[in-house]
Amino acid sequence: MRYSAPYLVYLFLLGLVPFLWTFLIGLNPAGISEALKGLPVGLILYNTFAFATITALASTGLGLLLAVSADALEDRVTSGLAMLPYSIPFTSSALIWGISLYGGYGWFTYLLGIRFDPLNLASTAIWGITLVGVWSTVPLPFLITYSSLRSVPKEFRETAKVMGIPLSKYYGELAIPYVGKAILVSLLLSFTLSVGNFDLPFVLTGGGPGFSSTTLPLVVYEQMSVLNNVTGGAFFAAVLSLIAVVPALGLLRVLRAKRPTLPSVGLKLPDLVFKALLGSGSVVVLAFLVIPVYWMVLVAFRSATLDFRSPPVLAPVGLTTHYFLKTMVESWPYMVSSVIVSSLAALLSVFLSSPAAYEVSTGKGRWILPLSIFLYAMPVTSFVIPVYLIMYDAGLVNTWWALVLSIPVFTATFSVWVLTNSFLDLPRSYFEAAEVFDVKNKFFRLILPLIGPSLISTFVLSFIFSWHALFYPLVLTNTPFSPGFPPQGAETVTIFALDALGDKYVNWGQLGSAALVSALPVMLVNYLAVYRIRRGIKEGGVKFA
């Protein structure tokens, strides 16, 4: 277990210990009683499950449609555009949709003929948040399903062509059942991550009006940070963890299954009709995914006099760089922190995970993989209170190191999952040759270079996840970066974008610029992740099931 030792030490100190500690902190009856006062617990649970269930089902279905379309039509445009929302931090997503849903002035509400803001009404607020949740989650099931479709043996497709089997039958009876496990993984993972989604409800509505859109993660934050009831926050964090345990265990069970877990679908359409249906459906879904990003860029670069118009002005007119340049200047301390934290957290994740994943792939410590997947599936609230106490006692609060050390509990565990499959895909002949020639340090000299593309993909995905983080920066930092020795402050661009909420209904240019600035770096590296996946699994793609 020598390769896994650093990873296991990290996982124990900042994963397992905080997870179990949360339950211990939440056992104080007085704190629990205080936390329950005046809270409509039934409504909060309903909001949490409704948001997570609908988000998971809708995003998995849309992701499957886009994945089949990109694979069948060999469409690079689809595979690139489908990942766009993944490159947008949840904070920026919320800001974009906040002005997209603004009564008759937002593009979305105008196109649907809605003359009110769904986020401002108690009867519709949770459904507005769910819409944004679906938009931001679609890339995850698309990524998992598409990468799995790319791993279907070429012989299957070639045989289908030779035998004249229509594409609809190929996908309905062969390809989709073959990747059925990946589809179920997408569904369960989307549900688990949505259950713990703090960013969207927090930024879009703050849980209001009243408690109409309050979910469990918001209650955890309010109890610990606003009401200073750490026990109450830990209690609700423990409840949320127990809820997340069920789909997490289901995820592990699905991953252990060896046979296809979805039935075949009897569908026989002419290829021309099938492609036309795929293409038209993909166009609608891609419009849903892309227009908000276009709206963000448009609002960031135009005069504020064009904002409150009905119908909304969708053409690029009245352009100006004033708001964008102003925002760029104001955001540089936050940008510095995000670049440093995301880069170091991604590097630490790859450093910790690659040796552990290699050891798991050799058959040693097989329990490490399910433990990693289980902890990855847990909400951030399962760890945040003990992690804050640890960082506070260590004097690391409001420093880059607090974030660099805490975020890999998600990125390193995710990396172990992905890299284990990459190591398993390597031909055994490499290992046999290393034994025959008695290669010293074969892991570093031979094995690691062979999965170089996978390491790059994993680094990029970890970087993007770290860049998106909001809960940890919100709790572990309190001031922006200030040059000096030692440097002070560690607030990231997600906090900078959050601060723009004060201008949400006054200055859309400022809001759009804040969203764009915080999203732009990961939008650029997003292309690299998609490119790596397209190269195929054996050449460094990402494989989940």
Q: Where are the domains of the chain?
A: 4-537
**205-222 tens-digit pLDDT:** 999 999 999 999 999 999
In this prediction, residue 504 carries a pLDDT of 46
Q: Of 523 and 141, which is predicted with more confidence?
A: 141
**154-170 tens-digit pLDDT:** 888 788 888 888 888 88
Give 488's strand partners. 482
In this prediction, residue 261 carries a pLDDT of 65
Report whether 69 contacts 78 (CB < 8 A).
yes
In this prediction, residue 346 carries a pLDDT of 96
Token pair in block for residue 6: 């650093």
- Percentage of the chain with pLDDT > 90? 49
**21-47 tens-digit pLDDT:** 999 999 888 888 888 988 999 999 999
Res 194 pLDDT > 90: yes
Pairwise CA distance, residues 315 & 332, whole Å: 30
Pairwise CA distance, residues 204 & 207, whole Å: 8
Residue 301: which of 280, 326, 277, 278 has the closest Cα? 326
Segment 500-506 shows an average pLDDT of 58
Segment 303-332 shows an average pLDDT of 88
Residue position matching structure tokens 């607030």:
491
In this prediction, residue 92 carries a pLDDT of 86
In this prediction, residue 437 carries a pLDDT of 65
Listing DSSP states for 363-377 in one string gives TS-TTHHHHHHHHHH
Q: Provide Rg for the chain, Cα atoms.
A: 23
Res 356 pLDDT > 70: yes
Res 286 pLDDT > 50: yes
In this prediction, residue 527 carries a pLDDT of 67
In this prediction, residue 530 carries a pLDDT of 60
How far is CA 182 from each of CA 60, 87, 157, rounded to the nearest angstrom? 11, 22, 19
Band the pLDDT of 541: cuts 50, 70, 90: very low
Mean pLDDT computed over every residue of the chain: 87
Burial of 219 (0-12, 13-18, 19+ CB in 10 A): buried
- Give the three-class secondary structure for 52: helix
State the CB neighbour count (10 A cutoff) for residue 318.
12
Res 513 pLDDT > 60: yes
Pairwise CA distance, residues 392 & 520, whole Å: 32
**44-58 tens-digit pLDDT:** 999 999 999 999 999
- Percentage of the chain with pLDDT > 70? 92
Token pair in block for residue 482: 């200030």
How many CA atoms are closer than 13 Å to the CA of 480, on its beta-carbon side?
14
CATH code, 4-537:
1.10.3720.10
In this prediction, residue 379 carries a pLDDT of 94
In this prediction, residue 17 carries a pLDDT of 96
Q: Of 450 and 346, which is predicted with more confidence?
A: 346
Alpha-helical regions (H) of 309-406:
322-361, 368-377, 384-393, 400-406
**253-281 tens-digit pLDDT:** 888 877 666 777 777 888 899 889 999 99
**85-125 tens-digit pLDDT:** 888 888 888 888 988 888 778 889 888 888 888 999 999 99
In single-letter form, the type of residue at position 115 comes to R
In this prediction, residue 334 carries a pLDDT of 93
In this prediction, residue 529 carries a pLDDT of 61
Segment 507-533 shows an average pLDDT of 76
- Give the three-class secondary structure for 89: coil
DSSP state of 482: B
Report whether 357 contacts 175 (CB < 8 A).
no
Most confident stretch, 156-160, 219-223, 535-539, 540-544: 219-223
Pairwise CA distance, residues 382 & 117, whole Å: 33
Res 63 pLDDT > 90: yes
DSSP state of 304: G
Report whether 445 contacts 67 (CB < 8 A).
no
How many CA atoms are closer than 13 Å to the CA of 16, on its beta-carbon side?
10
Token pair in block for residue 197: 């989604």
Report whether 506 contacts 299 (CB < 8 A).
no
Token pair in block for residue 5: 């030792």
